[in-house]
Structure 1
């Protein structure tokens, strides 16, 4: 990704127009999580090929300050609301990266902090935006999973990976129509009570950051790699069309 800064950093530094590298949305929690009722989960992480974790394709967590880092950064981490599918069936939750981990991850992807003159406060905002985007993505996944509530009432995130430059067919088609390409893409594998379901998430620039630290517009949908996923997308398309049609009819009655 060259000297590209993350999407979160791009929106903190309003005078920058760099595109972001993708970053692991969730990581393991530090020792303070040990007292939680449910344990936080290790974010599977990619330095050398031998270190690659298949769950998120990221390198091991690095909480050490970089050699030329201009200021200290916190290493505390926040537990997400996103449950992780564990092989033994236990309940754990993904945990977001610390500011120090995020800083190191951006450096690893080619970013140089001197080019952006980033400040200590910016890193706090970046982490908040990063976490909010992933919470929003999970809520969108749950809306789709509600179609299978009788089949599975507790879907969990099994693994994920960033594919920032591997644009989805829908994103490419939209770009041909004149729309902007997403600044990032993630593929999430959801465990639907023993069944793996892949979701594609395209992240689009939504402009200003709101008071909930959200700025991205998310396009979340099941991948078209199974008949069941295709059927779900057809069902939702029909329901949206029917809802809009009924809404238009009601508006017409009120105005007549």
Structure 2
């Protein structure tokens, strides 16, 4: 993802380069949508350069949201990172919609954890939720995923992301680290395990409140 002004677009190559999913994630998503991939691979049209504005506000950028890379930018970034060796450029027509939808779902989970209603961002300027930064590391297993797999025999996630989220209120502003494990559910597609890390007071507080149903 990169950011875009609602009036003036901004092309940030560094942000785009961070955005492509891992090879493992791409292959899982393509397997999930095999029929769509077959249909798209028979289409000789060029990759689109259109970029979709996300529903995720960017920290420190008033009236700007993160924006997803286009099909062409996503493919070019994957080539630069050398994670598309087994792929086909028209795979992007399948990967991009899933990638964007999954990120939007992650944000909805974070809003739920923060007990945040999006309309508040328009009605009350003192209450804002925004994404500061993100990174992916499919090779780094979270403690929860490790326990689920090596003790209870469950599948390992195919990807892992770490997001830093800023929550500003009238009284203060603070960052909260979130971790997301991505699992493939044969019935419901991508299953997301989104939760705040317990590396800060705010993260611990939210875990405790969630445990007691708040």
Q: Does TM-score exceed 0.5, indicating one fold?
A: yes
Change in 2 beyond 3 A, CA 1:83/1:147: closer
Select the residue among 125, 142, 146 that pairs with 1:172.
Answer: 146
Give the distance between the partners of 1:227 and 1:201, measured in 2 at CA: 19
Give the distance between the partners of 2:178 and 2:81, measured in 1 at CA: 25
Question: Hey, what does 1:92 align to over in structure 2?
Answer: 64
Superposed displacement of residue 125, structure 1: 1.9
Superposed displacement of residue 126, structure 1: 1.1
Select the residue among 161, 176, 180 that pairs with 1:197.
Answer: 176
Change in 2 beyond 3 A, CA 1:119/1:44: closer
4+ long deviations beyond 4 Å: 39-44, 147-150
Question: Hey, what does 1:109 align to over in structure 2?
Answer: 81
Q: Structure 1, residues 165-197: CA drift from partner, whole Å, max 9, x if none?
A: 111111111111111111111111111112111
Give the distance between the partners of 2:72 and 2:66, measured in 1 at CA: 18
Superposed displacement of residue 74, structure 1: 1.4
Select the residue among 133, 138, 158 that pairs with 2:102.
Answer: 133
Change in 2 beyond 3 A, CA 1:107/1:71: farther
Residue 138 of structure 1 aligns to a residue whose secondary structure is: helix
Question: Hey, what does 1:49 align to over in structure 2?
Answer: none
Select the residue among 127, 145, 157 that pairs with 2:114.
Answer: 145
RMSD (Å) for aligned C-alpha atoms: 3.0
Change in 2 beyond 3 A, CA 1:43/1:126: same
Write 1 or 2 for the structure with the bigger share of strand.
Answer: 2
Change in 2 beyond 3 A, CA 1:198/1:170: same
Change in 2 beyond 3 A, CA 1:199/1:174: same
Count how many residue pairs are aligned between Structure 1 and Structure 2: 179
Please report the TM-score for the alignment, with normalisation by the length of structure 1: 0.61
The structure having more radius of gyration, on CA atoms, is 1
Please report the TM-score for the alignment, with normalisation by the length of structure 2: 0.72
Change in 2 beyond 3 A, CA 1:43/1:158: farther
Give the distance between the partners of 2:146 and 2:99, measured in 1 at CA: 24
